[in-house]
Amino acid sequence: MKLKLFAICMVLLSSFGFAQETKSITGIITDQNEMPLPGAEVKVIDKEIFDVTDFDGNFSLDNVEVGDAVRVTFLGFMPQEFKVGQNNQYTIALEEDTDQLEEVVVIGYGTQEKRDLTGSISTVSAEEIEKTPTSNVMQSLQGKVSGVQIVNSGSPGDSPTVRIRGLGTFGEGTNVLYVVDDVLYDNIDFLNTKDIKSINVLKDASSSAIYGVRAANGVVIIETKSGRKNQKPQFEYDGYTGFQRAQNVVKLANTEQFATMARESGSAPDAQFIENAIQRYGRSRINPNVPAVNTDWYKEILREGLIQNHSISASGGGESVVYAVGANYTGQEGILDMKNDYERFNIRAKVDIDLTDRLKMGVNSIFSNATKHAPENGAWFRAYFAVPTMPVIDETNTEAGPTRYSNAQLLGYRSTQNPFQDLAYNENRQKIRKQLTSAFLQYELIEDKLDIKTTYSHDYSSLEIREVNLPYTLGNNYERRSSIKRENNNFSNQYWDNVLTYEDTFGDHDLTLMAGTSFRDEARNEFEATGFDISGIGLETSWYLDFADPDSFANNVGEVGRRFYGLSYFGRVAYTFKDKYIFYGTFRADGSSKFTLDPWGYFPSVGLGWVVSEEEFLVDNDLIDFFKLRASWGKLGNDNVAASAGSNTIEVVTAPIGDQPRTGLTSTSVFSNNTWEVIEEYNFGLNLEAFDRRLSLDADYYIRDTHDAILPVFIPIVNRSIDRNSGVIRNEGLELVANWSQQVSEDFSFRIGANFTTLKNETLEIEDERGYIDSGSAEFRQRTTIGGPLLGFYGYERIGVYQNQQEIDADPVAVENNLVPGDLIYRDQNGDGVIDDSDRVILGSFLPKYTFGGNIGVSYKAFDFSMDFYGQAGNKILNRKRGEIIFTQDTNIDADLAVNRWHGEGTSNTYPSSAGLRKAWNQRLSDFWVEDGDFFRIQNIQVAYNIEAEGLPDTRIYFTAEKPFSFFNYNGFNPEVSDGVDRQTYPVPAIYTMGVNLKF
């Protein structure tokens, strides 16, 4: 008996010893087509043993035992389990999960599957964003999202103008709302493109209404990258460097063209100025009738600028902690030849912690420190007008200093014209520091069903500006004294949000309920002072107010502070029945301290969706994979406007009395008592996927009305305009998006896509006795009329140029106005035989009627190629730099005008003569000065090569050409002008970079 017991014990012990024996296994995770799946999670159930597959789908697990259960998960695929056996090598093919394949989209205060959306939301992936070498994330969206217009600025560090579905407000309150990891911002110039996981653009009112008064101009939701649970630490470096160069440089009239125009003008002084230049600088050997100097001023003030970006990050996670940290440096030189650059250094940390099974907390912090040397944009204007008959440096101008720059006054011209004193003797430095921090606590009240989340965020920014004007002389008694202007601005925005969310699925029903509150506290303080005659101006250590003349500060010091509060209540219902009938509704009540008359606004929205492809008549078809019809309606508010001035009826004014400035008060009984503008929008759309999801089509039609638009209404009794809720503005359009992607073979895949957008901007109502709203200057008038666009260009329609005396004699208008051949012919709109103010019409809008974009991508083995394009049409640009010849007629002009001017019968039926340019008749605002802004651009070209080798990090080497080719007829550097008025617009350069991405 004892022997038997001993034998049994030995067997049990040996079995136990065998069960405890461990080993290592390896394998590959693929899809059903044997394509490797990088990033799949492979985990031993109930043990802290896991791995994440590499780029080739490989994994390895150590210390596993025979019989262990291993679970493999990957987004978009069904989870799969296998047991460890005697084998050490495993190949697991995952099956696609059509339910999980539905993209999860970040929406306001939560997420939603894309198939359940009833509004219009566009998503841009990190891969698309990272293609663009830029310091501002939004520039990378140009041409990629239908219904979104991005107007770039070439100036380093400047943010682009972003318009979503047109323009519905008159003032400056047109900012898009940015939501970064659930925190609200007005500007995202602190973000690095490498930190972004995805961007979702909420375009219609139904999608945006959950943000109430902050969402009037659209919402851009940004999700930053984070680690994942049970992920080994992953390190990444990405860096590129390159240069930027001005493209489509405007060709200015050369010396011979300029001299010809001066002599043709009939102006004896201008002809003499040419002779003065010959005497001062000598005669040209090619043409002795013109000066030897032939300066291309645009060429002189332009340069190539370096650009670089370096990012390093680490991310990962365990069972209860997920983290992502990183740092970034961005540097960019401007293409204007002066101290014009932008540098930014960012540090970012994002940590989420599961404190218990139900309690989670997270902290997200970004510190951004940037320095920008802003350009002297007046140099563009001066360069355009500077005569080519003088050089940059005039050694004979001995009175000029410190540098002997030339001075057009020495040739007889009225102004100095030379732009180089702007470049050499001005410095505008801006230090921009931002500390952005948010923290949240989230607790599951009912497991997997009900949770509450409280979030506090603080956006603290400081802007320190130092503008220094150094002293100089240009000769001819032209001297500038030194000055310094200092500004210190602080901005503090605090938010506290509390959100309760309930999610449940029962039978054929999916239900999500959300309710929350939000409190905001926005404060700003702005101080500025200006002083003159700085002691020790040659030393930068003296560029402070203490070194300026103390007596020069009078009336040059100012400070202002503002503070606003907001309280909001909001809720949402999202309901789906049988995965095919969708209801979505939100409601938000916003209170704002800005509006004294009615501080509360109420903004509802509703959306309906029908997934037609789930109906029986389409379920088994071989063509359509997904088809959804949707419709939505909603209201938004806009409080990003001036506060009510009902209690501020006294103004401080300064006026000269007895040759001395005197300060006093004025009082008026005319004041505004505004409330928010209200946007009401209808949206109808469809989503279609076909041919095994290779083809996707999206379409939206919208009508977006801004009610109670705040306009500057003219009050005759006081002869002034007051901002009041007094108009209705409509934006209406169609958006189309089509994409095709296909995996042709294991080594080759391609994709192609395009989007197209229409926009009609129209003013429906104006509560003004005159029936219109004027803006711009009297010489360059813009007018908003009922039935016309917002801020339309207003002038005369040109129908030709008088060619000979017979045409003059046959036209009573020409005879009455003493016109001559070479003068413009205007259309007599009312047929009364007189050309006067009643013949002025709306000449067009700076808002494009059409925008379009597209992309092509090809992957072959380790090579990637992509190309994006973008264009717009139907918009107008006021070429004001050309038009300001009305103020100063003895300056240069562009070569297009010089070559194509009328200079004899039949030479031009478009441009006036040289003499005509100086006549008031031809200088009226007309479509001669208002040009087409249509353009087409190759937006981005990128070629990349991926290297994968044992013992080396995953490496990607890429070359990028950003905006290398642009095609347009507008007479300017580029047709991207945010307000359509081109006086001194900074050119948008082409950028060429080489970069590398390393993942460890």
pLDDT tens digits for range 748-793 = 999 999 999 999 999 999 988 888 999 988 899 999 999 999 999 9
Containing H/E element for 382?
Answer: helix 378-385
Report, in angstroms and rounded to the nearest whole number, the Rg of the chain calculated over CA atoms: 33
pLDDT tier, 630 (very low <50, low <70, confident <90, very high otherwise): very high
- Model confidence over 816-836: pLDDT tens digits? 999 999 999 999 999 999 999
pLDDT value at position 272?
96
Query: 111-127 pLDDT, tens per residue?
Result: 888 889 999 999 998 88
Of 196, 230, 430, 156, residue with least CA distance to 311: 196
pLDDT of residue 768: 85
* Beta strands 177-180; 219-224: pairing state: parallel
For residue 256, give the DSSP letter. Answer: H
Predicted local confidence at residue 1, as pLDDT: 45
Q: Which stretches of 664-804 are DSSP H helices?
A: none
Instruction: Answer whether the bond into residue 661 is a cis peptide, omega within 30°.
Output: no
Closest alpha carbon to 678 in 752, 757, 590: 590
pLDDT of 723 = 81
Residue 17's pLDDT is what?
42
- d(CA 184, CA 187) in angstroms, rounded, equals 9
pLDDT value of residue 648? 46
The whole-angstrom separation of Cα 729 and Cα 706 is: 5
Smallest CA-to-CA distance from 90 within 105, 68, 106 is with 68
Please determine, for residue 551, whether its predicted confidence score (pLDDT) is greater than 70.
Answer: yes
Quote the pLDDT of residue 488.
Answer: 95
* Mean pLDDT, range 889-912, rounded to an integer: 94
| Contact in structure between 573 and 584 (CB atoms under 8 Å) | yes
Q: Which two tokens stand for residue 556?
A: 């040059």
Name the most confidently modeled range: 169-183, 426-440, 546-560: 426-440
* pLDDT tens per residue across span 304-353: 999 999 999 999 988 899 999 999 999 999 999 999 999 999 999 999 99
Is 70 exceeded by the pLDDT of residue 395?
A: yes
The pLDDT of 666-674, averaged and rounded, is 60
677-691: average pLDDT: 95
Which of 194-198, 326-330, 406-410 comes out lowest in average pLDDT? 194-198
pLDDT of amino acid 671: 58
Q: What is the rounded (10 degree) CA torsion for 533, 538, 541, 543?
A: 30
- Please provide the DSSP assignment of 869-920 as one string: EEEEES-EEE-HHHHGGGT--SS--BHHHHHHSB-STTS-SSS-BTTGGGSH
Provide mean pLDDT across the span 442-469: 95
Fill in the DSSP letter of residue 962.
E
Mean pLDDT of all residues belonging to the chain: 90
Helix axes 255-264, 268-281, angle to 10 degrees: 150
Tell me what pLDDT residue 52 has.
Answer: 86
pLDDT for residue 47 is more than 90: no
What's the CA gap between 737 and 148, in Å, rounded?
A: 13
Distances (CA, A) of 36 to 215, 329, 859, 924: 42, 34, 15, 68
Nearest to 874 by CA among 933, 962, 820, 931: 933
- Report the range out of 228-242, 342-356, 655-669 with the highest average pLDDT: 342-356
The whole-number pLDDT of residue 222 equals 94
- According to the model, what pLDDT value does residue 643 have? 62
Question: CA–CA separation, 591 vs 598, rounded Å?
Answer: 9
Parallel, antiparallel, or unpaired: how do β-strands 22-30 and 89-93 relate?
parallel
Residue 496: pLDDT band by 50, 70, 90 thresholds?
very high
Pair 401, 393: CB distance under 8 Å: no
